[in-house]
A and B are shown apart, each in its own frame.
Chain A
Amino acid sequence: MVEKIIEAKGLTKVFNRNLTAVDHVTFEVEKGEIYGFLGPNGAGKTTTINMLITVLKPTEGTATVCGYDIVKDANMVRRSVGVVPQEYTADEDLTGYENIILCADLYGLPREISKKRALELLDLVQLTEFKDKKVETYSGGMRRRLELACGLINRPRVLFLDEPTLGLDVQTRANIWEYIKLLKKEYDMTLFMTTHYLEEADELCDRIAIIDHGKILVVGSPENLKNRLGGDIITLSVNEKEDISSLIEKIENVKEIKRTNGEYRIKVKDGELTAPLIIETLRRKEIKVTRLSLSKPTLNEVYLEYTGKSMRDQEESVEDFRVRRIALRRARRR
């Protein structure tokens, strides 16, 4: 049996007696997987993380993390987990190295261990060169990497990542993904992450829970979720003028077929396997395939299916939010 690292049962958080941020959420995270909460802003992702890392107390329900109850054994949970928050929490007035040592001290690590680990982690996220520079001189990507390193200082069994690439450009985002994969491999951890970027969930997560209005709508691997939509789409043109739909229909895995302007749109399961099968079958009947394209359903379609809205509409507000946050940070430097 696979070990369960996180088990949440009916986890609920109500703010100010009437705003239900998380509504009776039940899920399990298995050891060694990357589990993602995917949902729009305000869906309750961060609130869930904050309950799991013991910063917020649940209004109702419970959860265990690494076998410890998040309310009764909060201190043991805190020792076993690492957190990479949504915000850049590193102190700008300190250097990267000082920030990691500060994190280590918060876990009460002895100095000889924390020094060794700090250097090792800085090397891993390739910040060794900048370790004695103040964090205010770091770029967004560097800061994220520093946050990752800080989150790992206590060698956590499970690492919580809250929107790990929020506000980063596409290249930096891909770069951070590489680091996350590297860190997971290096330290053999379980990862729990939230994101509202579909590509991110698709790229990193072994399993995804789509969450909206505080409720989990569906859970599954990205592949699984996409397959549930009914499979891949094959678009086909042939050198045969007659309708050959009935011929294709008989092929294994083909679910639906539509002919428009001499082009066939075929909904199939397992597109990669089925496409050669179609070509092969048609060739035996001496029909030549002139054009074929295979498209996979994206998570966006999955998302649309379950939440009834597109993710793309949301990103503007996140940018506004970042701009405001940066202004705030500048104001702080008195």
Chain B
Amino acid sequence: MKAKEISGNPLHGLWALTNRELKKWYKEPIVLFVSIIQPVIWMSLFGKSMNINAIFTTNLPPNMPPQLADEIMNKTFGTNDYFSFMAVGMLSFVTLFTTMFSGMSIVWDRRLGFLNKVLSTPVARGVIIFSKILSATIRSLVQASIVLIFAFMLGLKTGTNFTPINILGVYAVLFMLCMGLSALFLMIGIRSTRWETQMAVVNLLNLPLMFTSNVFFPTSMMPNWLQPIANVNPITYTTDAIRQLLIYQTNINQLIFDFAYLTMFTAAIASISIILAWKYLSK
């Protein structure tokens, strides 16, 4: 290769590899349709079928004041509308499920020889991993946007000091979570040559990650042994930050803390996965 053709950019190939993953998604009408419709189905079925408000309003003893129901809801969930509470949780839920499969693609690339081919080109090892993180992040954010739009359409009740600028904050928080989670799942897949193993590990992790967070239920009401787990789960912090931004009376200090925690989690996991890529991609 002639000298002038050598790219000095250490990130060359990043977009090419990211776009390769994305094309599998946006160029396949069925895959694209399912990935768009799925969060909508979750949102409308899950969010609306679990009508927790009704527990208190319909079952309230006749001699109790009707405001009591609102009072209990507010105390438990921080809002009197359970749909709003869980719609926000759905944003994290969608992210988790999309990023979960990012680790699968590296297992496939290894099995089909594509990984070896890429390794024989002058693409930086970290870029290979980073492209997978990036493509999963882009996919998740698109799906999360759809969830968000439907949440508003189905009647998400925003907090009193909500402004459209808060939406940007929501994206920043989700971006962090996507990066962190896809890096985590890639780390699991990096040495794996069997997709069955990867699938098993992912299935083992996803529901516990979901239920040890505040997506469906506030952590303060969880049993004592569960609370510490919920309190290290990054999904808890993501969901809390988005609730602060969208449906609660924003507590700035809490929001900053949530965001700082997420940033640390993501930075740590992403660095580890890129270091592992250096170490393990070449045997």
Contact = CB atoms under 8 A, between A and B. Distances in A.
Interface string A105-130: 11111100100000000000000000
A109 B112 contact: no
B283 A93 contact: no
Contacts of B28: 93
A93 B117 contact: no
Interface stretch (A79-87, A183-191, A210-218, A286-294): A79-87
Given A91-B20, A332-B108, A54 B114 contact: no
A162 B12 CA distance: 26
B49 interface: no
Interface string B3-17: 001110100110111
Interface in B116-147: 116-123
Contacts of A105: 12-13, 15-16
A154 B108 contact: no
Contacts of A329: 112
B6 A79 contact: yes
Given A55-B119, A102-B20, A89 B114 contact: yes
A247 interface: no
A56 B121 CA distance: 13
A300 interface: no
- Give chain A's interface residue range (CB within 8 Å of chain B): 35 or more
A79 B15 CA distance: 19
A53 interface: yes
Which of A85, A87, A106 has the most C-beta atoms of chain B within 10 angstroms of its own C-beta? A106
A245 interface: no
B27 interface: yes
Contacts of A156: 1
A78 interface: yes
A107 B112 CA distance: 20
A159 to B, nearest CB: 12
A170 interface: no
A93 B26 CA distance: 11
Nearest to A78: B122
B121 A106 contact: yes
B2 to A, nearest CB: 8
Contacts, number: 90
B282 A332 contact: no
Interface in A57-109: 57, 75, 78-81, 83, 85-89, 91, 93-94, 98, 101-103, 105-109
B113 A109 contact: no
B75 interface: no
Which of B23, B117, B283 has the most C-beta atoms of chain A within 10 angstroms of its own C-beta? B117
A154 B123 CA distance: 13
Contacts of B120: 53-55, 78, 81, 83
A79 B23 contact: no
A206 to B, nearest CB: 24
A98 B16 CA distance: 10
A108 B112 contact: no
B37 to A, nearest CB: 16
A50 interface: yes
Contacts of B283: 56-57
A2 interface: no
Contacts of A113: 5
Which of B2, B23, B112 has the most C-beta atoms of chain A within 10 angstroms of its own C-beta? B112
A79 B112 contact: no
A102 to B, nearest CB: 5
Contact of B116 (A50, A80, A88, A332): A50
Contact of A93 (B23, B111, B122): B23
B122 A107 contact: yes
B50 to A, nearest CB: 30
B7 A93 contact: no
A85 B114 CA distance: 9
Contacts of A19: none
A109 to B, nearest CB: 6
Contact of B9 (A85, A91, A94, A108): A108
Given A81-B120, A102-B20, A154-B1, A108 B27 contact: no
A154 B1 CA distance: 6
A85 B116 contact: yes
B123 A91 contact: no
Contacts of A85: 113, 116-117
Given A93-B24, A109-B7, 6 more contacts: A53-B120, A55-B116, A105-B12, A106-B123, A156-B1, A328-B111
Interface of B: 1-2, 5-7, 9, 12-13, 15-17, 20, 23-24, 27-28, 31, 108, 111-114, 116-123, 282-283
Interface of A: 50, 53-57, 75, 78-81, 83, 85-89, 91, 93-94, 98, 101-103, 105-110, 113, 154-156, 328-329, 332, 334
13 contacts: A55-B119, A79-B1, A85-B113, A85-B116, A93-B24, A98-B23, A106-B13, A107-B1, A107-B7, A107-B122, A155-B2, A332-B112, A334-B31
